[in-house]
Structure 1
């Protein structure tokens, strides 16, 4: 049984990477979200590990960049040599590299951290060189979204029954949003992205509802309502991750910290129904909201088809 706290094991591994030169002065260290994914720990544990390294002056925070290894900044020649070693000398930046780098930034630090300048910094190229591959940030977002949907391809074979087909589609979409929390902010139902792999989801849903007596108006609105339930619930994913990173508290820990405030509100007697519910705590989270809402929407579609 390991006695070393998880955050210390992360600290030791990052120290090792720095000591061996895998991470040099000025290099970005894994963000809290990257640590969560790599080590499978809570956001609070990841934050604690980076805080410990920062207190030891092993790393420092750079605005607009993130946490980097402390020490003398590498010269342009040193930085160029490392980049050349990573991607091969003489190779230019490709569109795929731009999209992958942008996605990594958004996955680990959120959409607010994404900019053309930041992408160029990560690739160690002039910002203007990116415009040889993409028109600007809007196109980058479109390509990121399309790549996210493309990585979770729809099955070629349809499961039997419209309900199973729509449920499968929604679960695939939910898994995409879970993998890329920023995506919910990019997707719009009234101004849909013209991303082929995202449009394929609409086609799948319309095919599932075809032949059941619904007119085009009803079909399209049902498809949009289901997609909006998944996206609307997923909007909370990035905000929760950011809140956990900022406070170092999980949702449960935050609620426990607010227990006295909530108790004072309920004691006043102005919210009797809410007070009755809190006597037997209900597990309310984004997963339960997704599941409950999905089944109720499918129940409603079933009623509509029966009519």
Structure 2
């Protein structure tokens, strides 16, 4: 029977999760029976494929076992449970992110690349926006490598250690919020089998009544101008460009004072 996935990372038993994240094979419970035929990495990759293709709800221990060709019970010899598997999935994606050297580029260029890398990750794996908890990250090599690399993007900004951590959280919070909105917009299109243009066209008679220029002059004027400029009521790319620029402007006000 399928079980709802954990709400966020950090839901598993900490000692076993950390041991698995850092490569301690003894973290999985020992069971009698034949030797292992697959690896923990293969189990994680199977779970990632399920989540990417069918959504996080499809990731059950039974489904993962079938994907790697082992019995439903033997998969527990690799990963203690679903909560620990979720942490491994998130940390694996973070570990595989490209981390180019920052060299001597300006801080705004570096932070733009941080934001874009995270947007690409969340776009490729939209279920991450549902589970990647900032307060309880899995603390494996992927998380630590990502954190170290992104903190280095703030080098020579003059920010204190505490302000640097807060600034990074602020930047990633914008990216995660945007990615979630973009995912919701895409899902609405998929679920209704209609593009935004088709939806607006189908509801035009009702919308004409709602958009009364005498009652809602600003809504009609500004909404029409925005819709024409960005090709719809909301554009993921337009929202990204505007939001990222304003986020960096906010950080500039803090950094430039130093």
Tell me if 1:295 matches 2:240. no
Correspondence for 2:207: 262
> For the residues of structure 2 that align with 1:245 and 1:127, how far apart are their CA atoms?
32
Give, in angstroms, the shift of residue 266 of structure 1. 1.5
Correspondence for 1:234: 179
> For the residues of structure 1 that align with 2:77 and 2:182, how far apart are their CA atoms?
33
Correspondence for 2:223: 278
**CA displacement 1:27-50 (0-9 Å, x = unmatched):** xxxxxxxxxxxxxxxxxxxxxxxx
Correspondence for 1:161: 106
Q: Secondary structure at the match of 1:93?
A: coil
- Structure 1 unaligned blocks of 5 or more: 1-62, 65-89
> Does the C-alpha gap of structure 1 residues 178 and 186 become closer, same or farther in structure 2, counting only changes over 3 Å?
same
Given candidates 178, 184, 189, the residue that maps to 2:123 is: 178
Structure with greater contact order relative to length (CA < 8 Å, sep ≥ 6): 2
Tell me if 1:193 matches 2:132. no
Correspondence for 2:169: 224
Please give the root-mean-square deviation of Cα atoms over the aligned residues, in Å. Answer: 2.5
* Superposition pairs of residues 123-162 of structure 1, within 5 angstroms: 123-162=68-107
Q: Secondary structure at the match of 1:189?
A: coil
For normalisation by structure 1, the TM-score amounts to 0.64
> Does the C-alpha gap of structure 1 residues 258 and 138 become closer, same or farther in structure 2, counting only changes over 3 Å?
farther
Give, in angstroms, the shift of residue 222 of structure 1. 0.9
> For the residues of structure 2 that align with 1:271 and 1:115, how far apart are their CA atoms?
49
Q: Tell me if the contact between 1:148 and 1:180 (Cα under 8 Å) persists in the aligned partners.
A: no
Q: Tell me if the contact between 1:99 and 1:140 (Cα under 8 Å) persists in the aligned partners.
A: yes
> For the residues of structure 2 that align with 1:119 and 1:287, how far apart are their CA atoms?
35
For normalisation by structure 2, the TM-score amounts to 0.75
Give, in angstroms, the shift of residue 132 of structure 1. 0.7
> For the residues of structure 2 that align with 1:91 and 1:193, how far apart are their CA atoms?
25
Give, in angstroms, the shift of residue 294 of structure 1. 1.0
Correspondence for 1:58: none
- Structure 2 unaligned blocks of 5 or more: 3-34
